[in-house]
Amino acid sequence: HTDADQQVKALAQKKNISLSDSPKNPEMQKKMDEAKNRFSNMKGAQFDRAFANHMSMGHKRLISLAQAWRQDCKDQDVCSLIDTLMPKLQQHAQMADQLKGPAPMGRAPPENPVNR
């Protein structure tokens, strides 16, 4: 993620575009805050599953957005950056899917009272 951020920042600087460190869209900020609150109340396997699902969906959503941006792209530098970043986005989506693991069969094991 750091490498992608650096590439985006470098292109923005080249194009004299200032970037914000936080989302300007209130709806996006609200979703980020809700996810943070949801995860803060989870532990163990519940957290692992929820986080892996969140990462998988987030990467897939970003891939869809990037594909749409690429179709409408008019600036060659931006098009090139999207093309450069797409394989890494796809790889990260696959890694998140692998973190989710196979679907559980049957009932969940009883909760460990130590982890409550």
Digitized pLDDT (tens) for each residue of the chain, 116 residues in all:
788 889 999 999 999 999 877 666 788 788 888 888 888 888 888 888 888 888 889 899 999 999 999 999 999 999 999 999 999 999 999 988 888 876 555 455 555 555 44
CA distance 69 to 77: 13
Residue 60 lies in a domain: yes
How many domains in the chain?
1
Alpha carbon separation from 57 to 13, 20, 37 (Å, rounded): 30, 23, 18
In this prediction, residue 115 carries a pLDDT of: 45
Residue 66 lies in a domain: yes
Look-up: residue for tokens 């950056």? 81
Residue 54 lies in a domain: yes
Per the structure, the complete domain to which residue 80 belongs is given by 44-100
Give the rounded distance of the alpha carbon of 11 from its chain centre.
21
Residue 85 lies in a domain: yes
Q: Which amino acid is at 21?
A: D
User: What Rg do the C-alpha atoms of the chain give, in angstroms?
Assistant: 18
Residue 55 lies in a domain: yes
Residue 77 lies in a domain: yes
